[in-house]
A and B are shown apart, each in its own frame.
Chain A
Amino acid sequence: MLLAIDVGNTHIVFGLYQGKHLRHHWRLRSNRATTADEVGVFLGRLLRGIGNPSISGVAISSVVPPLTQVLVEMSQQYLKQAALVVGPGVTTGMPILYDDPRQLGTDRLVNAIAAYERTKGPTIVVDCGTATKFEYVNGAGEYLGGAIAPGLGIASDALSERAARLHRVELVRPPKVLGRNTIHSIQSGLIYGYASMLDGMVARIRREHDAKARVVATGGFSTLLVPATESIEIVDEFLTLDGLRLIYERNIGQ
Chain B
Amino acid sequence: MSSGLFLAIDVSNTHTVLGIYDGKTLRHHWRLQTDSGRTADEYGVIVQSLLGGVGNPAIQSIAVSSSVPPMTQIIESLCQTYIGVTPLVVGPGVRTGMPILYDKPQEVGADRIVNAIAAYERTRDTTIVVDFSTATIFDYISEKGEYVGGVIAPGLGIASDALFDRAAKLYRVELTKPKTVIGRNTAHAIQSGLIYGYVSLVDGLVTRIQKENRVKARVIATGSYATLLAPESETIDDVDEFLTLDGLRLIHERNADD
Partner of B152 from the list A133, A186, A194 (CB cut-off 8 Å) is A186
Q: Which residues of A contact B188 (CB under 8 A)?
A: 145
A180-B103, A196-B200, A208-B181 known; A9 vs B208 contact (CB < 8 Å)? no
A65-B168, A147-B181, A166-B152 known; A200 vs B190 contact (CB < 8 Å)? no
Complex Cα–Cα for A204 and B200 (A):
9
Cβ of B228 under 8 Å from chain A: no
Complex Cα–Cα for A198 and B205 (A):
12
List residues 148-203 of chain A with CB under 8 A from any CB of chain B. 148-151, 154-159, 162-166, 176-182, 185-186, 188-190, 192-201, 203
Binding site for A on B (CB under 8 A): 13, 67-70, 101-104, 107, 109, 134-136, 138, 140, 148-155, 158-163, 165-170, 180-186, 188-190, 192-194, 196-205, 207-209, 212-213
In the bound complex, do residue B190 and residue A148 qualify as a contact, i.e. CB atoms below 8 Å apart? yes
Number of A-B contacts (CB under 8 A): 214
Cβ of A27 under 8 Å from chain B: no
Complex Cα–Cα for A157 and B161 (A):
11
Q: Pick from A130, A146, A147, A156 the residue with the most CB of B within 10 Å.
A: A147
In the bound complex, do residue B197 and residue A201 qualify as a contact, i.e. CB atoms below 8 Å apart? yes
Q: Which residues of B contact A208 (CB under 8 A)?
A: 180-182
Question: Can you name 14 extra interface pairs (CB under 8 A) apart from A155-B153, A177-B151, A203-B200?
Answer: A65-B169, A103-B185, A133-B193, A149-B193, A154-B159, A163-B135, A165-B67, A178-B213, A179-B151, A180-B103, A181-B103, A185-B150, A196-B200, A209-B182
Cβ of A144 under 8 Å from chain B: yes
B244 to chain A, nearest CB (A): 16
Cβ of A55 under 8 Å from chain B: no
In the bound complex, do residue A180 and residue B182 qualify as a contact, i.e. CB atoms below 8 Å apart? no
In the bound complex, do residue A200 and residue B160 qualify as a contact, i.e. CB atoms below 8 Å apart? no
A177-B209, A197-B197, A197-B198 known; A155 vs B162 contact (CB < 8 Å)? yes
